[in-house]
Structure 1
Amino acid sequence: MKTIAKKIDEICRVSKQGLTPKSVVDDLMQVLFNALVGEGLFRLAFPSGDLRVDSSFYRELDQYRADPEAWERLGDIAEDYLLLMKSRDPFTDLVGSLYSQIRLNIKWGQFLTPWPVATGLTGFHNIDLRDGKHILFGDTGGCGAGTLLLAQLQDLYERQPARLRQVHVVALDIDWHMVIMSTVQIVYPLLACNIELGSFRNYCGHGIIDYDRPTPAMTFIPDLKNWKAFHEQRDMKDETFFL
Protein backbone atom coordinates (compact mmCIF):
# COMPACT_ATOMS: atom_id res chain seq x y z
CA MET A 1 0.00 0.00 0.00
CA LYS A 2 2.92 2.35 0.59
CA THR A 3 3.93 1.91 -3.06
CA ILE A 4 0.46 2.89 -4.24
CA ALA A 5 0.40 5.88 -1.90
CA LYS A 6 3.75 7.02 -3.25
CA LYS A 7 2.56 6.71 -6.85
CA ILE A 8 -0.53 8.76 -6.01
CA ASP A 9 1.72 11.55 -4.75
CA GLU A 10 3.73 11.31 -7.97
CA ILE A 11 0.60 11.69 -10.12
CA CYS A 12 -0.35 14.81 -8.18
CA ARG A 13 3.13 16.19 -8.81
CA VAL A 14 3.24 15.60 -12.59
CA SER A 15 -0.42 16.15 -13.42
CA LYS A 16 -1.54 19.17 -15.45
CA GLN A 17 -4.96 19.13 -13.75
CA GLY A 18 -3.95 20.08 -10.24
CA LEU A 19 -4.98 16.68 -8.95
CA THR A 20 -5.22 15.96 -5.22
CA PRO A 21 -4.73 12.57 -3.53
CA LYS A 22 -8.51 12.41 -2.98
CA SER A 23 -9.30 13.02 -6.63
CA VAL A 24 -6.72 10.42 -7.71
CA VAL A 25 -8.27 7.80 -5.42
CA ASP A 26 -11.71 8.63 -6.77
CA ASP A 27 -10.44 8.35 -10.35
CA LEU A 28 -8.70 5.06 -9.55
CA MET A 29 -11.97 3.61 -8.25
CA GLN A 30 -13.79 4.93 -11.32
CA VAL A 31 -11.31 3.22 -13.66
CA LEU A 32 -11.81 -0.08 -11.85
CA PHE A 33 -15.60 0.36 -11.78
CA ASN A 34 -15.69 1.13 -15.52
CA ALA A 35 -13.87 -2.13 -16.20
CA LEU A 36 -16.70 -3.95 -14.41
CA VAL A 37 -19.39 -2.30 -16.52
CA GLY A 38 -18.19 -4.06 -19.64
CA GLU A 39 -19.71 -7.48 -19.03
CA GLY A 40 -16.70 -9.45 -20.28
CA LEU A 41 -15.24 -10.04 -16.82
CA PHE A 42 -18.62 -10.90 -15.35
CA ARG A 43 -19.74 -13.25 -18.13
CA LEU A 44 -16.46 -15.12 -18.02
CA ALA A 45 -16.83 -15.81 -14.30
CA PHE A 46 -20.63 -16.18 -14.07
CA PRO A 47 -22.19 -17.14 -17.43
CA SER A 48 -25.54 -17.99 -15.78
CA GLY A 49 -25.89 -14.64 -14.04
CA ASP A 50 -27.00 -11.10 -14.70
CA LEU A 51 -25.25 -7.77 -14.25
CA ARG A 52 -27.19 -4.51 -14.27
CA VAL A 53 -25.45 -1.13 -14.02
CA ASP A 54 -26.96 2.34 -14.08
CA SER A 55 -25.18 4.08 -16.95
CA SER A 56 -24.87 7.33 -14.97
CA PHE A 57 -22.25 5.69 -12.77
CA TYR A 58 -20.06 4.95 -15.78
CA ARG A 59 -18.02 8.12 -16.19
CA GLU A 60 -15.31 8.58 -18.78
CA LEU A 61 -12.35 10.42 -17.38
CA ASP A 62 -12.06 12.84 -20.29
CA GLN A 63 -9.94 15.25 -18.28
CA TYR A 64 -6.97 12.90 -18.75
CA ARG A 65 -6.98 13.27 -22.54
CA ALA A 66 -4.71 16.30 -22.19
CA ASP A 67 -2.79 14.70 -19.33
CA PRO A 68 -1.32 11.49 -20.81
CA GLU A 69 1.45 11.00 -18.26
CA ALA A 70 -1.00 11.13 -15.38
CA TRP A 71 -3.32 8.73 -17.23
CA GLU A 72 -0.53 6.23 -17.77
CA ARG A 73 0.43 6.40 -14.11
CA LEU A 74 -3.20 5.96 -13.06
CA GLY A 75 -3.32 2.77 -15.13
CA ASP A 76 -0.19 1.52 -13.38
CA ILE A 77 -1.80 2.14 -9.99
CA ALA A 78 -4.93 0.25 -11.07
CA GLU A 79 -2.74 -2.75 -11.94
CA ASP A 80 -0.94 -2.45 -8.60
CA TYR A 81 -4.28 -2.34 -6.78
CA LEU A 82 -5.55 -5.49 -8.48
CA LEU A 83 -2.31 -7.36 -7.78
CA LEU A 84 -2.47 -6.30 -4.13
CA MET A 85 -6.11 -7.37 -3.90
CA LYS A 86 -5.29 -10.82 -5.30
CA SER A 87 -2.45 -11.23 -2.78
CA ARG A 88 -4.72 -10.59 0.23
CA ASP A 89 -7.47 -12.67 1.76
CA PRO A 90 -10.78 -12.21 -0.08
CA PHE A 91 -12.82 -9.20 1.10
CA THR A 92 -9.90 -7.37 2.73
CA ASP A 93 -10.51 -3.62 3.00
CA LEU A 94 -7.85 -1.96 0.86
CA VAL A 95 -9.43 1.46 0.42
CA GLY A 96 -9.57 2.07 4.16
CA SER A 97 -5.90 1.27 4.41
CA LEU A 98 -5.15 3.60 1.51
CA TYR A 99 -7.17 6.42 3.08
CA SER A 100 -5.14 6.07 6.27
CA GLN A 101 -1.86 5.87 4.36
CA ILE A 102 -2.38 9.21 2.63
CA ARG A 103 -4.30 10.68 5.59
CA LEU A 104 -7.45 11.43 3.62
CA ASN A 105 -9.57 10.80 6.69
CA ILE A 106 -8.05 13.86 8.36
CA LYS A 107 -7.87 16.09 5.28
CA TRP A 108 -11.41 15.44 4.04
CA GLY A 109 -13.29 14.54 7.21
CA GLN A 110 -14.39 11.15 5.85
CA PHE A 111 -13.57 8.67 8.56
CA LEU A 112 -13.97 5.13 7.25
CA THR A 113 -14.52 2.35 9.74
CA PRO A 114 -11.13 0.97 10.84
CA TRP A 115 -10.63 -2.63 9.71
CA PRO A 116 -9.94 -3.97 13.24
CA VAL A 117 -13.22 -2.43 14.43
CA ALA A 118 -15.16 -3.90 11.50
CA THR A 119 -13.73 -7.39 11.98
CA GLY A 120 -14.29 -7.17 15.73
CA LEU A 121 -17.98 -6.41 15.22
CA THR A 122 -18.66 -9.56 13.21
CA GLY A 123 -18.89 -11.62 16.39
CA PHE A 124 -21.87 -9.57 17.54
CA HIS A 125 -23.94 -10.05 14.39
CA ASN A 126 -24.71 -13.73 14.99
CA ILE A 127 -25.56 -14.65 11.40
CA ASP A 128 -26.48 -18.34 11.48
CA LEU A 129 -25.27 -20.38 8.51
CA ARG A 130 -26.49 -23.77 9.67
CA ASP A 131 -30.08 -24.04 8.45
CA GLY A 132 -29.41 -23.59 4.73
CA LYS A 133 -31.79 -20.71 4.12
CA HIS A 134 -31.00 -17.65 2.06
CA ILE A 135 -29.63 -14.77 4.13
CA LEU A 136 -30.07 -11.07 3.42
CA PHE A 137 -27.92 -8.48 5.16
CA GLY A 138 -26.74 -5.01 4.35
CA ASP A 139 -25.47 -1.60 5.32
CA THR A 140 -28.08 0.97 4.30
CA GLY A 141 -27.12 3.71 6.73
CA GLY A 142 -24.14 4.88 4.68
CA CYS A 143 -21.92 1.98 3.62
CA GLY A 144 -18.87 4.13 2.89
CA ALA A 145 -16.15 2.04 1.27
CA GLY A 146 -18.02 -1.12 2.28
CA THR A 147 -15.77 -1.92 5.25
CA LEU A 148 -18.48 -3.38 7.52
CA LEU A 149 -19.86 -5.48 4.68
CA LEU A 150 -16.40 -6.72 3.71
CA ALA A 151 -15.64 -7.78 7.28
CA GLN A 152 -18.90 -9.72 7.51
CA LEU A 153 -18.36 -11.35 4.12
CA GLN A 154 -14.82 -12.34 5.04
CA ASP A 155 -16.07 -13.89 8.29
CA LEU A 156 -18.81 -15.86 6.52
CA TYR A 157 -16.40 -16.96 3.78
CA GLU A 158 -13.85 -18.22 6.29
CA ARG A 159 -16.51 -20.13 8.27
CA GLN A 160 -18.52 -21.67 5.43
CA PRO A 161 -17.45 -20.58 1.94
CA ALA A 162 -19.98 -22.74 0.10
CA ARG A 163 -22.86 -20.95 1.84
CA LEU A 164 -21.98 -17.60 0.30
CA ARG A 165 -24.12 -18.49 -2.71
CA GLN A 166 -27.12 -18.05 -0.39
CA VAL A 167 -25.92 -14.76 1.05
CA HIS A 168 -27.42 -11.59 -0.44
CA VAL A 169 -25.92 -8.18 0.27
CA VAL A 170 -27.45 -4.70 0.00
CA ALA A 171 -25.48 -1.44 0.28
CA LEU A 172 -26.45 2.22 0.13
CA ASP A 173 -24.62 5.53 0.40
CA ILE A 174 -25.52 9.11 -0.46
CA ASP A 175 -22.02 9.78 -1.86
CA TRP A 176 -21.71 8.23 -5.32
CA HIS A 177 -17.91 8.08 -4.89
CA MET A 178 -18.48 5.73 -1.95
CA VAL A 179 -20.97 3.70 -3.99
CA ILE A 180 -18.23 3.20 -6.58
CA MET A 181 -15.64 2.32 -3.93
CA SER A 182 -17.79 -0.21 -2.11
CA THR A 183 -18.76 -1.84 -5.41
CA VAL A 184 -15.12 -2.21 -6.44
CA GLN A 185 -14.12 -3.59 -3.05
CA ILE A 186 -16.88 -6.21 -2.91
CA VAL A 187 -17.19 -7.29 -6.55
CA TYR A 188 -13.53 -7.65 -7.57
CA PRO A 189 -12.75 -10.37 -4.97
CA LEU A 190 -15.76 -12.31 -6.26
CA LEU A 191 -14.35 -12.23 -9.78
CA ALA A 192 -10.70 -12.77 -8.85
CA CYS A 193 -11.40 -15.72 -6.54
CA ASN A 194 -14.43 -17.08 -8.44
CA ILE A 195 -16.64 -16.74 -5.35
CA GLU A 196 -20.34 -17.12 -6.04
CA LEU A 197 -22.19 -14.70 -3.78
CA GLY A 198 -25.97 -14.94 -3.82
CA SER A 199 -26.29 -11.35 -4.99
CA PHE A 200 -24.99 -7.83 -4.41
CA ARG A 201 -27.06 -4.68 -4.86
CA ASN A 202 -25.64 -1.22 -4.36
CA TYR A 203 -27.73 1.95 -4.28
CA CYS A 204 -27.07 5.68 -4.19
CA GLY A 205 -29.37 7.78 -2.05
CA HIS A 206 -30.24 9.06 1.40
CA GLY A 207 -30.85 6.22 3.83
CA ILE A 208 -33.96 7.91 5.28
CA ILE A 209 -35.34 10.32 2.71
CA ASP A 210 -34.72 8.06 -0.31
CA TYR A 211 -35.24 4.73 1.43
CA ASP A 212 -38.03 3.65 -0.94
CA ARG A 213 -36.53 5.14 -4.12
CA PRO A 214 -32.72 5.09 -4.14
CA THR A 215 -30.89 4.92 -7.46
CA PRO A 216 -29.74 1.35 -8.18
CA ALA A 217 -26.08 1.66 -9.15
CA MET A 218 -25.32 -2.03 -9.64
CA THR A 219 -27.16 -5.32 -9.32
CA PHE A 220 -24.78 -8.27 -9.38
CA ILE A 221 -26.41 -11.71 -9.68
CA PRO A 222 -24.02 -14.62 -10.33
CA ASP A 223 -26.79 -17.22 -10.85
CA LEU A 224 -30.33 -16.33 -11.90
CA LYS A 225 -31.80 -19.67 -10.73
CA ASN A 226 -30.33 -19.08 -7.30
CA TRP A 227 -31.74 -15.53 -7.37
CA LYS A 228 -35.19 -16.95 -8.13
CA ALA A 229 -34.88 -19.39 -5.22
CA PHE A 230 -34.01 -16.47 -2.95
CA HIS A 231 -37.24 -14.70 -3.89
CA GLU A 232 -39.27 -17.87 -3.52
CA GLN A 233 -38.18 -18.29 0.07
CA ARG A 234 -41.31 -17.34 1.96
CA ASP A 235 -40.29 -15.92 5.31
CA MET A 236 -37.20 -13.71 5.25
CA LYS A 237 -37.82 -11.99 8.60
CA ASP A 238 -35.46 -14.16 10.61
CA GLU A 239 -32.86 -14.12 7.87
CA THR A 240 -32.55 -10.35 7.41
CA PHE A 241 -29.82 -8.38 9.13
CA PHE A 242 -28.67 -4.82 8.63
CA LEU A 243 -25.32 -3.63 9.97
Structure 2
Amino acid sequence: MNDLKTQIENLRRIIFNIYENRPQSTRDNQEDSFRLFIKAALNIQLQLFIARYKRNGLSEAETVQCIVIRPSIFGITQKEMDDCDAESLTKAVLQYVEIVGSNPAYTDVLSLLLESIMLVGKNGNGLAQFLTPPWLAECLAELMPMQNTDKPFMVCEFCCGAGTLLLAPLALMMSRNPHHAKNATVIANDIDPIMCCTTALQVVTNTVVHDVDLCEFTQHCSDVITEWTEGNSYPIRFRTPAKVFEARARIREEKLRACGYYEIFDEPDTIKLSSLIETRSASTISESVGAV
Protein backbone atom coordinates (compact mmCIF):
# COMPACT_ATOMS: atom_id res chain seq x y z
CA MET A 1 0.00 0.00 0.00
CA ASN A 2 2.80 2.41 0.86
CA ASP A 3 4.40 1.68 -2.49
CA LEU A 4 1.11 2.49 -4.25
CA LYS A 5 0.83 5.75 -2.32
CA THR A 6 4.34 6.68 -3.42
CA GLN A 7 3.48 5.86 -7.02
CA ILE A 8 0.34 8.00 -6.84
CA GLU A 9 2.24 10.94 -5.34
CA ASN A 10 4.81 10.74 -8.13
CA LEU A 11 1.98 10.71 -10.66
CA ARG A 12 0.42 13.77 -8.99
CA ARG A 13 3.65 15.75 -9.40
CA ILE A 14 3.90 14.85 -13.08
CA ILE A 15 0.25 15.76 -13.71
CA PHE A 16 0.68 19.18 -12.11
CA ASN A 17 3.42 19.98 -14.62
CA ILE A 18 0.94 19.78 -17.51
CA TYR A 19 -0.35 23.34 -17.02
CA GLU A 20 2.22 24.56 -14.50
CA ASN A 21 3.28 27.57 -16.58
CA ARG A 22 -0.19 28.75 -17.58
CA PRO A 23 -1.10 32.21 -16.16
CA GLN A 24 -4.11 31.03 -14.14
CA SER A 25 -4.40 30.29 -10.44
CA THR A 26 -2.52 27.29 -9.10
CA ARG A 27 -5.76 25.44 -8.29
CA ASP A 28 -7.23 26.06 -11.74
CA ASN A 29 -4.02 24.84 -13.36
CA GLN A 30 -3.95 21.70 -11.22
CA GLU A 31 -7.61 20.85 -11.84
CA ASP A 32 -7.30 21.45 -15.58
CA SER A 33 -4.11 19.39 -15.64
CA PHE A 34 -5.96 16.48 -14.08
CA ARG A 35 -8.90 16.84 -16.49
CA LEU A 36 -6.64 16.84 -19.54
CA PHE A 37 -4.65 13.89 -18.21
CA ILE A 38 -7.82 11.84 -17.68
CA LYS A 39 -9.25 12.64 -21.10
CA ALA A 40 -5.96 12.04 -22.94
CA ALA A 41 -5.32 8.76 -21.15
CA LEU A 42 -8.87 7.58 -21.85
CA ASN A 43 -8.59 8.40 -25.56
CA ILE A 44 -5.34 6.45 -25.79
CA GLN A 45 -6.62 3.43 -23.86
CA LEU A 46 -9.77 3.23 -25.95
CA GLN A 47 -7.67 3.11 -29.11
CA LEU A 48 -5.57 0.34 -27.56
CA PHE A 49 -8.76 -1.47 -26.56
CA ILE A 50 -9.99 -1.41 -30.17
CA ALA A 51 -6.60 -2.63 -31.40
CA ARG A 52 -6.77 -5.47 -28.87
CA TYR A 53 -10.05 -6.68 -30.33
CA LYS A 54 -8.62 -6.59 -33.82
CA ARG A 55 -5.57 -8.59 -32.71
CA ASN A 56 -8.01 -11.24 -31.53
CA GLY A 57 -9.33 -11.63 -35.06
CA LEU A 58 -12.24 -9.19 -35.26
CA SER A 59 -12.83 -7.39 -38.53
CA GLU A 60 -13.57 -3.67 -38.69
CA ALA A 61 -17.29 -4.39 -39.10
CA GLU A 62 -17.33 -6.82 -36.16
CA THR A 63 -15.47 -4.34 -33.97
CA VAL A 64 -17.98 -1.61 -34.77
CA GLN A 65 -20.78 -3.93 -33.67
CA CYS A 66 -19.44 -4.47 -30.17
CA ILE A 67 -17.79 -1.15 -29.21
CA VAL A 68 -19.50 2.21 -28.80
CA ILE A 69 -17.39 5.34 -28.46
CA ARG A 70 -19.07 8.75 -28.43
CA PRO A 71 -16.37 11.22 -27.32
CA SER A 72 -18.74 13.97 -26.17
CA ILE A 73 -17.41 13.97 -22.59
CA PHE A 74 -13.75 13.23 -23.28
CA GLY A 75 -13.03 15.23 -26.41
CA ILE A 76 -9.91 17.42 -26.30
CA THR A 77 -9.78 20.86 -27.91
CA GLN A 78 -6.84 22.20 -29.84
CA LYS A 79 -6.46 25.02 -27.29
CA GLU A 80 -6.16 22.51 -24.46
CA MET A 81 -3.29 20.88 -26.31
CA ASP A 82 -1.67 24.16 -27.34
CA ASP A 83 -1.59 25.44 -23.75
CA CYS A 84 -0.26 22.27 -22.12
CA ASP A 85 3.20 20.85 -21.67
CA ALA A 86 2.88 17.91 -24.06
CA GLU A 87 5.96 16.16 -22.66
CA SER A 88 4.51 16.19 -19.13
CA LEU A 89 1.16 14.95 -20.44
CA THR A 90 2.82 12.04 -22.22
CA LYS A 91 4.92 11.24 -19.17
CA ALA A 92 1.82 11.29 -16.91
CA VAL A 93 -0.08 8.87 -19.15
CA LEU A 94 2.88 6.49 -19.33
CA GLN A 95 3.38 6.69 -15.58
CA TYR A 96 -0.27 5.86 -14.97
CA VAL A 97 -0.11 2.81 -17.24
CA GLU A 98 3.04 1.68 -15.43
CA ILE A 99 1.27 1.97 -12.05
CA VAL A 100 -1.70 -0.04 -13.30
CA GLY A 101 0.60 -2.73 -14.67
CA SER A 102 2.64 -3.01 -11.48
CA ASN A 103 -0.38 -3.49 -9.21
CA PRO A 104 -3.05 -6.22 -9.10
CA ALA A 105 -5.81 -5.97 -11.70
CA TYR A 106 -8.50 -3.37 -10.96
CA THR A 107 -6.55 -1.66 -8.20
CA ASP A 108 -8.09 1.76 -7.56
CA VAL A 109 -5.32 4.17 -8.53
CA LEU A 110 -7.20 7.40 -9.24
CA SER A 111 -9.99 7.96 -6.69
CA LEU A 112 -7.85 9.43 -3.90
CA LEU A 113 -5.90 11.46 -6.44
CA LEU A 114 -9.10 12.84 -7.97
CA GLU A 115 -10.55 13.65 -4.58
CA SER A 116 -7.46 15.50 -3.39
CA ILE A 117 -7.23 17.59 -6.57
CA MET A 118 -10.87 18.21 -7.50
CA LEU A 119 -12.88 18.03 -4.26
CA VAL A 120 -10.76 18.88 -1.20
CA GLY A 121 -11.66 22.27 0.26
CA LYS A 122 -15.00 22.55 -1.56
CA ASN A 123 -17.03 21.04 1.32
CA GLY A 124 -19.36 19.28 -1.08
CA ASN A 125 -20.35 22.51 -2.82
CA GLY A 126 -21.73 22.19 -6.33
CA LEU A 127 -22.67 18.56 -6.86
CA ALA A 128 -22.18 17.56 -3.21
CA GLN A 129 -19.57 14.99 -4.17
CA PHE A 130 -17.95 12.78 -1.55
CA LEU A 131 -16.11 9.69 -2.78
CA THR A 132 -16.28 6.26 -1.15
CA PRO A 133 -12.97 5.42 0.59
CA PRO A 134 -11.22 2.45 -1.05
CA TRP A 135 -10.98 0.58 2.27
CA LEU A 136 -14.78 0.74 2.67
CA ALA A 137 -15.33 -0.45 -0.89
CA GLU A 138 -13.00 -3.39 -0.23
CA CYS A 139 -15.02 -4.37 2.86
CA LEU A 140 -18.29 -4.17 0.94
CA ALA A 141 -16.85 -6.29 -1.87
CA GLU A 142 -16.37 -9.16 0.56
CA LEU A 143 -20.15 -9.26 1.08
CA MET A 144 -21.07 -9.51 -2.59
CA PRO A 145 -22.41 -12.95 -3.60
CA MET A 146 -20.74 -12.84 -7.02
CA GLN A 147 -17.48 -13.78 -5.31
CA ASN A 148 -18.76 -17.32 -4.80
CA THR A 149 -20.50 -18.11 -8.07
CA ASP A 150 -19.53 -18.98 -11.61
CA LYS A 151 -22.78 -17.61 -13.04
CA PRO A 152 -23.15 -14.33 -14.97
CA PHE A 153 -23.45 -11.36 -12.62
CA MET A 154 -23.88 -7.60 -12.81
CA VAL A 155 -22.14 -4.86 -10.83
CA CYS A 156 -23.85 -1.45 -11.02
CA GLU A 157 -23.07 1.95 -9.52
CA PHE A 158 -25.35 4.85 -10.45
CA CYS A 159 -23.25 7.53 -8.73
CA CYS A 160 -19.94 5.94 -9.58
CA GLY A 161 -17.52 8.77 -8.78
CA ALA A 162 -14.07 7.46 -9.66
CA GLY A 163 -15.30 3.85 -9.78
CA THR A 164 -14.22 2.72 -6.32
CA LEU A 165 -17.30 0.58 -5.63
CA LEU A 166 -16.97 -1.10 -9.02
CA LEU A 167 -13.25 -1.74 -8.90
CA ALA A 168 -13.21 -3.34 -5.44
CA PRO A 169 -15.38 -6.37 -6.31
CA LEU A 170 -13.60 -6.79 -9.65
CA ALA A 171 -10.22 -6.72 -7.90
CA LEU A 172 -11.38 -9.28 -5.36
CA MET A 173 -12.78 -11.46 -8.14
CA MET A 174 -9.47 -11.34 -10.02
CA SER A 175 -7.52 -12.31 -6.92
CA ARG A 176 -9.79 -15.30 -6.19
CA ASN A 177 -11.41 -16.41 -9.44
CA PRO A 178 -9.92 -14.57 -12.43
CA HIS A 179 -11.75 -16.82 -14.91
CA HIS A 180 -15.02 -15.30 -13.62
CA ALA A 181 -14.23 -12.03 -15.43
CA LYS A 182 -16.05 -13.35 -18.49
CA ASN A 183 -19.25 -13.37 -16.40
CA ALA A 184 -19.05 -9.74 -15.28
CA THR A 185 -21.35 -7.04 -16.65
CA VAL A 186 -20.38 -3.63 -15.27
CA ILE A 187 -22.67 -0.59 -15.46
CA ALA A 188 -21.50 2.83 -14.27
CA ASN A 189 -23.17 6.23 -14.19
CA ASP A 190 -22.43 9.68 -12.84
CA ILE A 191 -23.73 13.16 -13.47
CA ASP A 192 -20.19 14.60 -13.57
CA PRO A 193 -18.34 14.01 -16.87
CA ILE A 194 -14.88 13.94 -15.25
CA MET A 195 -16.07 11.24 -12.83
CA CYS A 196 -17.43 9.24 -15.76
CA CYS A 197 -14.13 9.60 -17.61
CA THR A 198 -12.15 8.55 -14.54
CA THR A 199 -14.25 5.43 -13.95
CA ALA A 200 -14.12 4.46 -17.62
CA LEU A 201 -10.37 5.04 -17.70
CA GLN A 202 -9.79 2.78 -14.68
CA VAL A 203 -11.92 -0.04 -16.10
CA VAL A 204 -10.64 0.15 -19.68
CA THR A 205 -6.97 0.53 -18.73
CA ASN A 206 -7.09 -2.51 -16.46
CA THR A 207 -8.83 -4.48 -19.19
CA VAL A 208 -6.07 -3.58 -21.66
CA VAL A 209 -3.01 -3.69 -19.40
CA HIS A 210 -3.96 -6.88 -17.54
CA ASP A 211 -5.49 -8.50 -20.63
CA VAL A 212 -8.87 -9.19 -19.03
CA ASP A 213 -12.11 -9.98 -20.87
CA LEU A 214 -15.18 -8.68 -19.06
CA CYS A 215 -18.51 -9.68 -20.53
CA GLU A 216 -19.71 -6.10 -20.87
CA PHE A 217 -19.05 -2.55 -19.65
CA THR A 218 -21.26 0.52 -20.08
CA GLN A 219 -20.47 4.03 -18.88
CA HIS A 220 -23.43 6.40 -18.65
CA CYS A 221 -23.30 10.13 -17.93
CA SER A 222 -26.66 11.34 -16.63
CA ASP A 223 -28.67 12.60 -13.68
CA VAL A 224 -29.90 9.28 -12.34
CA ILE A 225 -32.97 10.94 -10.75
CA THR A 226 -34.31 12.89 -13.74
CA GLU A 227 -32.62 11.43 -16.83
CA TRP A 228 -32.03 7.72 -16.31
CA THR A 229 -35.38 6.54 -17.64
CA GLU A 230 -35.02 8.73 -20.75
CA GLY A 231 -32.48 6.32 -22.18
CA ASN A 232 -29.81 8.89 -23.01
CA SER A 233 -26.99 7.66 -25.21
CA TYR A 234 -24.02 6.30 -23.30
CA PRO A 235 -20.57 7.63 -24.27
CA ILE A 236 -18.73 4.31 -23.86
CA ARG A 237 -19.84 0.72 -24.14
CA PHE A 238 -18.24 -2.57 -25.08
CA ARG A 239 -19.50 -6.14 -25.25
CA THR A 240 -16.88 -8.83 -25.58
CA PRO A 241 -17.95 -11.00 -28.54
CA ALA A 242 -17.77 -14.78 -28.55
CA LYS A 243 -15.04 -14.61 -31.19
CA VAL A 244 -12.69 -12.92 -28.71
CA PHE A 245 -13.38 -15.50 -26.00
CA GLU A 246 -12.74 -18.28 -28.53
CA ALA A 247 -9.48 -16.67 -29.69
CA ARG A 248 -8.30 -16.27 -26.11
CA ALA A 249 -9.15 -19.93 -25.35
CA ARG A 250 -7.06 -21.04 -28.36
CA ILE A 251 -4.13 -18.88 -27.24
CA ARG A 252 -4.24 -20.38 -23.74
CA GLU A 253 -4.35 -23.90 -25.16
CA GLU A 254 -1.40 -23.18 -27.46
CA LYS A 255 0.62 -21.85 -24.52
CA LEU A 256 -0.16 -24.95 -22.46
CA ARG A 257 0.81 -27.17 -25.35
CA ALA A 258 4.05 -25.23 -25.96
CA CYS A 259 5.15 -25.55 -22.32
CA GLY A 260 4.48 -29.29 -22.27
CA TYR A 261 1.41 -29.17 -20.04
CA TYR A 262 -0.31 -31.95 -21.97
CA GLU A 263 2.77 -34.16 -21.61
CA ILE A 264 2.23 -34.13 -17.85
CA PHE A 265 -1.58 -34.11 -17.76
CA ASP A 266 -3.93 -35.85 -20.12
CA GLU A 267 -5.11 -33.73 -23.02
CA PRO A 268 -8.89 -33.22 -22.88
CA ASP A 269 -10.90 -35.00 -25.57
CA THR A 270 -12.85 -31.85 -26.24
CA ILE A 271 -12.47 -28.27 -25.15
CA LYS A 272 -15.97 -26.94 -24.72
CA LEU A 273 -16.86 -23.27 -24.53
CA SER A 274 -18.66 -22.07 -21.44
CA SER A 275 -22.44 -21.78 -21.55
CA LEU A 276 -22.06 -18.00 -21.44
CA ILE A 277 -19.99 -17.98 -24.64
CA GLU A 278 -22.36 -20.41 -26.35
CA THR A 279 -25.30 -18.19 -25.45
CA ARG A 280 -23.55 -15.10 -26.72
CA SER A 281 -22.66 -16.91 -29.94
CA ALA A 282 -26.26 -17.84 -30.56
CA SER A 283 -27.67 -14.40 -29.84
CA THR A 284 -27.47 -11.26 -31.92
CA ILE A 285 -26.96 -7.73 -30.76
CA SER A 286 -30.34 -6.11 -31.02
CA GLU A 287 -29.13 -2.55 -30.62
CA SER A 288 -27.49 -0.55 -33.36
CA VAL A 289 -24.10 0.37 -31.94
CA GLY A 290 -20.87 1.57 -33.44
CA ALA A 291 -17.55 3.24 -32.76
CA VAL A 292 -17.51 6.82 -33.96
Normalised-by-shorter TM-score class: 0.7 to 0.9
Structure 1, unaligned stretches of length 5 or more? 234-243
Query: In structure 1, what is the equivalent of residue 273 of structure 2?
Result: none
For residues 71-117 of structure 1, what are the alpha-carbon distances to aligned partners after superposition, in whole Å with 9 as ceiling and x for unaligned? 221111111111111111111111123235x4543134443211111
2:216 partner letter: S
What are the superposed Cα offsets for residues 31-61 of structure 1, whole Å, 9 maximum, x if unpaired? Answer: 0111234364342465456211123234123
Among candidates 80, 85, 95, match of residue 64 of structure 1: 80
Aligned to 1:35: 44
- In 2, Cα distance between the equivalents of 1:85 and 1:129? 26
**Among candidates 222, 234, 251, match of residue 216 of structure 1:** 234
Match of 1:123 in 2: 142
Contact 2:15–2:37 under 8 Å retained in 1: no
Instruction: Report 1:164-175 matches (<5 A).
Output: 164-175=181-192
Distance change in 2, residues 1:205/1:103 (3 Å): closer
Which of 178, 195, 198 does residue 178 from structure 1 map onto? 195
User: What's the Cα RMSD here?
Assistant: 2.6
List gaps (5 residues or longer) in structure 2: 1-7, 244-275, 284-292
The match for 1:95 is: 110
AA aligned to 1:193 is H
Alignment of 1:99-178 (within 5 A): 99=114, 102-108=116-122, 109=124, 110-127=129-146, 129-130=148-149, 132-140=150-158, 142-178=159-195
Match of 1:236 in 2: none
Q: What is the aligned-residue identity percentage?
A: 21
Size of the aligned set, in residue pairs, is: 229
- Specify the alignment match of 1:55 in structure 2: 71
What is residue 9 of structure 2 aligned with on the other side? 2
State whether residues 53 and 217 of structure 1, in contact with CA within 8 Å, keep that contact through their aligned partners in structure 2.
yes
Aligned to 2:33: 24
Distance 1:176 1:99, change over 3 A: closer
Task: Encode CA deviations 1:164-207: one digit per residue, 9 max, x unaligned.
Answer: 10111111111111111100001111111111111111111111
Contact persistence 1:173–1:203 (CA under 8 A):
yes
Q: How far, CA to CA, are the matches of 2:282 and 2:156 in structure 1?
A: 20
Match of 2:100 among 82, 85, 95: 85
- What is the CA-CA distance between 1:20 and the residue it aligns to? 2.4
Write 1 or 2 for the structure with the bigger share of strand: 1
Q: Tell me, yes or no, if the aligned pair for 2:12 and 2:113 is still in contact at 8 Å.
A: yes
The Cα of 1:12 is off from its aligned counterpart by 3.8
TM-score (norm 1): 0.83
Q: Which has the larger radius of gyration?
A: 2
